[in-house]
């Protein structure tokens, strides 16, 4: 069953029913009178959280569930609010699986969609980093080489590094080769 709700237009022109709209519908519609909802932490570390939201029939049986995971460094909003974003995402997914707001085509919460877009842009920006000798990334790269040099060919290490660093040439590449050879 799907329900037509107020939507906003998101990137790509798709219509999206925000989680607060789904929650308001769930709480104010006679069809869902006496139903219940809760959200619990499934796993939490210093840097991430996984939550489960559950929607209950009036008799206490589970009607739907939704899970969400957020990393504290996943997007700018998560640096301060990753727990709240995770809760919202889980509830939005549980309501979506119940059929509330999915006629517009998305079970994901707005925050999930926004985080995915932001992370894609962040990932694309990181590809344009140039690796230089003695910059802030140098020690980590040398550690990576030391850890992998016995089982991975030098050119394969360079290919892997080039997924993050756009430019690895000249003196930098020569220095990396020396580190690979233990010189």
Torsion of CA 15, 21, 26, 28, to 10 degrees: -130
Extract the runs of DSSP E, i.e. beta strands, from the chain: 8-9, 15-16, 36-44, 48-56, 62-71, 129-130, 165-167
Which residue would you say has higher pLDDT here, 123 or 97? 97
Number of domains comprising the chain: 2
Mean pLDDT computed over 60-83: 79
Asked if residue 103 lies in contact with residue 12, where contact means CB atoms within 8 angstroms, the answer is no
Do the domain assignments include residue 163? Answer: yes
**First vs last C-alpha separation in the chain:** 67
Distance of CA 4 to the CA centre of its chain: 27
Domain match, 111 and 151 both: no
Domain match, 34 and 63 both: yes
Residue for token pair 């994901």: 108
Do the domain assignments include residue 32? Answer: yes
Do the domain assignments include residue 3? Answer: no
Instruction: Look up residue 132 and give its two tokens.
Output: 């230089």
Query: Crossing angle for the helix pair 138-148 and 170-180, nearest 10 degrees?
Result: 40
Q: How distant, in Å, are the alpha carbons of 87, 137, 148 from that of 76?
A: 17, 22, 32
Residue 136 has pLDDT above 70, yes or no: no
- Domain end residue (candidates: 110, 126, 142): 126
Domain match, 39 and 100 both: yes
Domain match, 173 and 109 both: no
Provide the residue range defining the domain that includes 115.
Answer: 8-126
Which residue would you say has higher pLDDT here, 81 or 86? 86
What pTM was estimated for this model as a whole?
Answer: 0.55
Report the length, in residues, of the chain: 183
Distance between CA 27 and CA 37 in Å, rounded? 10
Quickly state the pLDDT bin for 114 (edges 50, 70, 90): low
pLDDT digits over 34-43, tens only?
999 999 999 9
- Domain end residue (candidates: 83, 98, 126): 126
Do the domain assignments include residue 1? Answer: no
Distance between CA 56 and CA 91 in Å, rounded? 12
Residue 20 belongs to domain with CATH number:
3.30.390
Distance between CA 18 and CA 88 in Å, rounded? 10
Mean pLDDT computed over 153-177: 77
- Domain end residue (candidates: 126, 141, 170): 126
Domain match, 44 and 134 both: no
Do the domain assignments include residue 164? Answer: yes
């Amino acid at each position: 069953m799907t329900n037509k709700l107020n939507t906003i237009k998101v990137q790509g022109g798709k219509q999206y029913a925000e989680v607060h709209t789904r929650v308001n519908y769930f709480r104010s519609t006679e069809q869902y009178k006496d139903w219940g909802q809760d959200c619990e932490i499934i796993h939490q570390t210093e840097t991430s959280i996984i939550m489960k939201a559950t929607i209950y029939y009036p008799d206490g049986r589970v009607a739907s569930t939704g899970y969400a995971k957020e990393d504290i460094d996943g997007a700018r909003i998560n640096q301060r609010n990753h727990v709240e974003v995770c809760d919202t995402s889980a509830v939005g997914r549980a309501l979506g699986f119940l059929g509330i707001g999915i006629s517009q085509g998305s079970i994901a919460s707005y925050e999930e969609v926004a985080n995915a877009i932001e992370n894609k842009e962040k990932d694309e920006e990181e590809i344009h980093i140039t690796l230089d000798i003695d910059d802030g990334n140098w020690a980590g790269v040398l550690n990576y080489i030391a850890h992998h040099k016995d089982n991975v060919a030098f050119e394969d290490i360079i290919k892997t590094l080039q997924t993050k660093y756009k430019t690895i040439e000249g003196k930098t590449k020569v220095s990396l080769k020396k580190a690979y050879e233990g010189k």
